[in-house]
Amino acid sequence: MGRRKVKFVLPKLNDCGGDLKLKWYVEYSYRDENNDKLERFRVYEGFSILPTTNERYTHAEAIITEISTKILTGWNPFDIDKVTINNHIQYNIQSRVYGNREETEKNLFYYMNTYLEERRPTLSRKTMQDYTSKLRMFHQWLQSEGKGEIYAQEITNDIISDYIFSLINKGREKHTVKDSRQRISQVLNWLVKKQILIKNPIFDLPEARQHLDHSAQPMTKAEASYLLNYIKKKDKQLYLFCSMLFYCAIRPGTELRLLKVKDINLFNNSISIRIENGKKGEGVVNIPPKLAQTLEKMRITSCNREFYVFGKDGKPGVDCWGKNHFRLLFNKYRDEIGYPKEYKLYSWKCTGGILFAMSGAPLAAIRDHFRHKSTAYTDIYLSKKIGKQNDYVKHKFPEL
């Protein structure tokens, strides 16, 4: 049997017999997969300026520890070769002006972009934006700390902890901190699978406190009715948009804004959510009678089946509105009548769900209407918005 080929030889010091007049160096070897040869590397930096043997030994120990740690966690010196990547974590305006092709070493920046490149086909546009945003924030922090060129193998739990603390100290919301930690951890787990890292260095990270609840708040029935009638007089298209949010609990961003005429079925009073638009894939939503009457009166289904329901001409058409159009329009009318800013476009969805629950609908029916995965999640959602409802307290509490 032939001798087993070693992959690397860990670094050691050549102190030239202790002669300070000669060039000391740390030497290590690593096998180049391209030619199957064990290549030798020498580090001379920093020795010549140190005047004593003790200082040089201390310097050598630091170099040996650093390189050994990197090698044993998966790094190899050939990663310093330059590669060209698609830079996904730069801002869109930079991409439009300078393009997104960029040359870099095989460092953490390279692997974050490679990860995003691999995940792009499997993620929705909104989820991809979230991944990109969180990794961009982390990379910008690394740059501000002088670690923009750091290698994946050099990432430690202390570095991640420092970053998380920086988010907390800036007053970032709890969910932002949690999502940031999760996105970074997903990249590191991916690197473990790719055998770039031995293990994920993330553990025991600090938790952020929730500061403010910025989520949309439900309106009372009287408030919702008054606002919807006010909007109906101002903008018929926005009126329909809000009505569908209220009655069908459809998410406004992609599910409703990108709804097409063919997705509405007034024969069985249902709306189909296409897989490319749904937050959790495709689904079917039932249409309550009141909304069905509105749709029939507006003759929506008589239009071209491929038209977007909310076209740019105020009626079904080829082009749909941008993602901020209805939100800004709703805010305008909400402000005109003096409603609080906690009432947002999304409030129509949670208002409909809350009123549906208060009407006596069973939890399973509310779950199906919201397209939640479980009644447990629906119960948490309702409790967050209106608290735990106790019918015995409301109707049977003893009087004095």
Would you give per-residue pLDDT tens digits along the chain (400 residues)?
A: 456 778 889 999 999 999 998 989 999 998 887 788 888 988 888 888 888 999 999 989 988 988 888 788 777 777 655 555 556 565 443 333 334 445 566 788 888 888 988 888 888 777 888 888 899 999 999 989 888 888 888 888 889 999 988 888 887 878 888 899 999 999 999 988 887 788 888 888 777 665 555 678 889 999 999 999 999 999 999 999 999 999 998 888 888 999 999 999 999 999 998 877 776 667 888 999 999 999 999 998 999 999 999 999 899 999 999 888 999 999 999 999 999 999 999 999 989 988 998 888 888 998 888 888 888 888 887 877 767 766 666 667 777 7
Does the residue 400 lie in any domain? Answer: no
Which CATH number covers residue 304? 1.10.443.10
254 and 345 housed in the same domain = yes
Residues 6+ apart with CB under 8 A from 87: 95, 100, 101, 102, 113
Three-class secondary structure of residue 14 per DSSP: strand
Structure tokens at 213: 């609840």
- What is the per-residue DSSP string for 326-354? HHHHHHHHHHHTT--TT--TTHHHHHHHH
67 and 128 housed in the same domain = no
The residue range of the domain holding 57 is 8-72
Per-residue model confidence (pLDDT) at position 97: 35
Overall size of the chain counted in residues: 400
Per-residue model confidence (pLDDT) at position 375: 87
189 and 338 housed in the same domain = no
Which CATH number covers residue 151? 1.10.150
Per-residue model confidence (pLDDT) at position 287: 92
Per-residue model confidence (pLDDT) at position 212: 56
290 and 386 housed in the same domain = yes
Does the residue 215 lie in any domain? Answer: no
Does the residue 311 lie in any domain? Answer: yes
Decide which of 193, 213, 235 is a domain's last residue: 193
Rounded Cα distance between 190 and 117, Å, is 13
Classify the C-alpha dihedral 325-327-333-335 as positive or negative. negative
Total domains, the chain: 3
- pTM exceeds cut of 0.85: no
386 and 325 housed in the same domain = yes
Phi-psi region of 368 (alpha: psi -120 to 50; beta: other; left: phi over 0): alpha
84 and 67 housed in the same domain = no
Does the residue 214 lie in any domain? Answer: no
18 and 93 housed in the same domain = no
Does the residue 20 lie in any domain? Answer: yes
Per-residue model confidence (pLDDT) at position 96: 38
299 and 170 housed in the same domain = no
Contact 45, 23 (CB under 8 A): no
Decide which of 26, 51, 72 is a domain's last residue: 72
Rounded Cα distance between 108 and 102, Å, is 14
59 and 96 housed in the same domain = no
Per-residue model confidence (pLDDT) at position 101: 47
Classify the C-alpha dihedral 22-28-33-36 as positive or negative. positive
Question: What is the DSSP secondary structure assignment for residue 229, as one 8-state letter?
Answer: H
Does the residue 207 lie in any domain? Answer: no
Phi-psi region of 5 (alpha: psi -120 to 50; beta: other; left: phi over 0): beta
375 and 274 housed in the same domain = yes
Does the residue 369 lie in any domain? Answer: yes
Structure tokens at 22: 């000669």
Of 83, 63, 77, nearest to 7 by C-alpha is: 77
Q: How many helices (H) and strands (E) would you count in the chain?
A: 14, 8
Does the residue 3 lie in any domain? Answer: no
178 and 249 housed in the same domain = no
Rounded Cα distance between 285 and 250, Å, is 8
147 and 54 housed in the same domain = no
